[in-house]
Structure 1
Amino acid sequence: MDWRRAKSVLILAFLMLNLVLGYQLWSNIREGLSTSAKAGDLSPETLRIMEEKGIKLVENIYIPAETPELQDLTYRVRTKLSDGEKHVLKEPVESRIVFNEKQLIEGLGDIIPDIDQYVFDVTTSDDKKLILYRMEQMRPMFDVKLELYSEDQRIIAYRQDVIELVSTEKAVENPVLPATIAMAPLIEKFLASGAVIKEIKLGYHGQTFAKSDIQVSAPSWRVMLEDGNVYYIHAVSGEVVTEDELSS
């Protein structure tokens, strides 16, 4: 037996094995870090209903695959957007600053309270009204908004929800339902035939109690349609709620 040749073959085999194992490890890590899924990841039953009702997702949209553990947020309303008049800026600023956090703070930080805690939302904005949401745990609070009014590509006024978070011992973190599972009852029971889904986003949302300054916001999936309709799915219980059902 040629031991030198046998030794070379064994070394080559071990190298190939290490390459295969390394690739598998890299693939598993990449899969674990993935934050999105495609429509094909919905259950076969949900896909069948979508086909029957002609429900579609806009091209290139992905369904979030994240399933973090989140808790309800309790907060006190200091300033309510719906009750306040527009605050007109003495000196308008260019609207493009909403795309850059540093420029936004430099341009409006001395004028608008807590602006560093709000993030621009392109899906709900247009050329006349720029919408920003208060962020908590890196997720938007859909009930807490900052509206910037734009004219000739310059911000001329604003209205704002200002809140103060309230700590509570009762708050418990729960794993959220995957969007692919949470969306099943929405598609089956709520969406009309021909509906087109343009965005699915995880944040916080809750019923608004008009007679109380204390509000509770729960982890929720927001599903926006091309026709402007918006649905919220409680990300723990799976309950589906429309915008019209949230005011009391």
Structure 2
Amino acid sequence: MDWKSTKTIFILSFLILNIFLGYQLSVKLQQNNIQYIADLPLEKQLEDNNINYKDELPDYKAKQTLISGQRAPFSPADLNTSKEVKLDKDKSANDMLVYSLKKPLKVTESNVVDEVSAFLKEEVYRGNEYSFYKKDTTSKTVWFTQSYDGKPILFDSKSKDMPGGMVKFHWNDTGEVRGFEQTFLSIYRQGTPQEIISPMKAIGRLFKTGYLSNGEKIKKVQLGYYSLANVEDVQVYVPTWSVETENGHYLVNATDSSIQQIDREGNEES
């Protein structure tokens, strides 16, 4: 018997066994660590990942209803009679109005929301039924949206189509607003109130699916309505948590936790 060869075989066998046992131990420790992290309260997981949210959680009612909305045609009586605006008949339609301002509104980029809001309330038809939704400094656009029961109608601001229930302003390179577009929704309550998830669970859903990264700051959390389905000309809207961060804008269905829309292109919200 070649004892030198046998000794070498034993050493290699023990070495392979040690490597295997070490690997098994590593896998077990990793599994235990993953299980430990999963067992941590969501608040602790967010804290460990430096995700700041605590000042942004709003009060809300635990039960909400679905609503339906239909783009309402404007009648002659609905046309804006303000002396500050003029209807562009060539660009307008029965359910979308396009106005130009007789005198351009001077705005500053840093304060454009407040400046346009004041004009909206005073000079736009039913302007007090719209509230600020989003500002995009790249396209120089400010959107205002209708609300139902104090909650805004949410929409994709990058959509090519003009959503219902919205007023949209543009300002130019010289800081002037020269016109706006307007649509309106007739809104109706649908069904009976049902339980919705909390804003904390909406944030947790985004975190666990990888949409919130380490150190991400949450800027705004708001309950609104987002279009779930389109039945002919009628939109069905479901209670939805709008979560805006430094890196994106996410919409989480408040009834089933599904993520309805993801916008990570860095729009600036004010």
Instruction: State the partner residue of 1:12.
Output: none
The Cα of 1:98 is off from its aligned counterpart by 5.5
Instruction: State the partner residue of 2:184.
Output: 162
The Cα of 1:192 is off from its aligned counterpart by 4.5
- The alpha-carbon distance between structure 1 residues 207 and 236, as it changes in their structure 2 partners (threshold 3 A), is closer
- The alpha-carbon distance between structure 1 residues 200 and 69, as it changes in their structure 2 partners (threshold 3 A), is same
The Cα of 1:89 is off from its aligned counterpart by 2.4
Instruction: State the partner residue of 2:236.
Output: 216
TM-score normalised by length of structure 2 = 0.57
User: Which of 162, 186, 201 is the matching residue for 1:181?
Assistant: 201
Looking at structure 1, the residues matched to 208 and 69 of structure 2 have their Cα atoms a distance apart, in angstroms, of: 34
Paired residues of 2:96 and 2:183 also in contact (CA < 8 A) = no
Looking at structure 2, the residues matched to 155 and 196 of structure 1 have their Cα atoms a distance apart, in angstroms, of: 32
For the pair 1:46 / 2:42, whether they are aligned, the reply is yes
Instruction: State the partner residue of 2:77.
Output: none
Looking at structure 1, the residues matched to 62 and 44 of structure 2 have their Cα atoms a distance apart, in angstroms, of: 28
Instruction: State the partner residue of 1:199.
Output: 220
Deviation track 1:60-115 (CA, whole Å, cap 9, x = no partner) reads 84212323432111011237x9x969643232235579638675332x23xxx432
Looking at structure 1, the residues matched to 194 and 256 of structure 2 have their Cα atoms a distance apart, in angstroms, of: 10
Instruction: State the partner residue of 1:99.
Output: 114
The Cα of 1:142 is off from its aligned counterpart by 1.0
Instruction: State the partner residue of 2:135.
Output: 125
Looking at structure 2, the residues matched to 104 and 146 of structure 1 have their Cα atoms a distance apart, in angstroms, of: 9
Query: Secondary structure in 2 aligned to 1:72?
Result: strand
Paired residues of 1:86 and 1:157 also in contact (CA < 8 A) = yes
The Cα of 1:214 is off from its aligned counterpart by 0.8
Give the number of aligned pairs.
188
Looking at structure 2, the residues matched to 119 and 192 of structure 1 have their Cα atoms a distance apart, in angstroms, of: 27
Paired residues of 1:65 and 1:178 also in contact (CA < 8 A) = no
Deviation track 1:22-74 (CA, whole Å, cap 9, x = no partner) reads xxxxxxxxxxxxxxxxxxxxx9532343356x35227x842123234321110
The amino acid across from 2:186 in the alignment is E
The amino acid across from 1:71 in the alignment is T
- The alpha-carbon distance between structure 1 residues 125 and 203, as it changes in their structure 2 partners (threshold 3 A), is same
For the pair 1:139 / 2:151, whether they are aligned, the reply is yes
* Structure 1: gaps (5+ residues): 1-42
User: Which of 56, 75, 84 is the matching residue for 2:51?
Assistant: 56
Paired residues of 1:77 and 1:161 also in contact (CA < 8 A) = yes
* Structure 2: gaps (5+ residues): 1-38, 74-91, 156-164, 264-270
- The alpha-carbon distance between structure 1 residues 161 and 84, as it changes in their structure 2 partners (threshold 3 A), is closer
RMSD between aligned residues? 3.4
Deviation track 1:112-139 (CA, whole Å, cap 9, x = no partner) reads x432210123xx2145222211111111
Paired residues of 2:65 and 2:189 also in contact (CA < 8 A) = no
Query: Secondary structure in 1 aligned to 2:206?
Result: helix
Looking at structure 2, the residues matched to 97 and 188 of structure 1 have their Cα atoms a distance apart, in angstroms, of: 36
TM-score normalised by length of structure 1 = 0.62
The Cα of 1:241 is off from its aligned counterpart by 2.2
Moved over 6 A (4+): none
Looking at structure 1, the residues matched to 256 and 186 of structure 2 have their Cα atoms a distance apart, in angstroms, of: 26
- The alpha-carbon distance between structure 1 residues 141 and 225, as it changes in their structure 2 partners (threshold 3 A), is same
The amino acid across from 2:255 in the alignment is V
For the pair 1:150 / 2:144, whether they are aligned, the reply is no
The amino acid across from 1:199 in the alignment is K
The amino acid across from 2:209 in the alignment is K
Looking at structure 2, the residues matched to 237 and 105 of structure 1 have their Cα atoms a distance apart, in angstroms, of: 36
Instruction: State the partner residue of 2:18.
Output: none
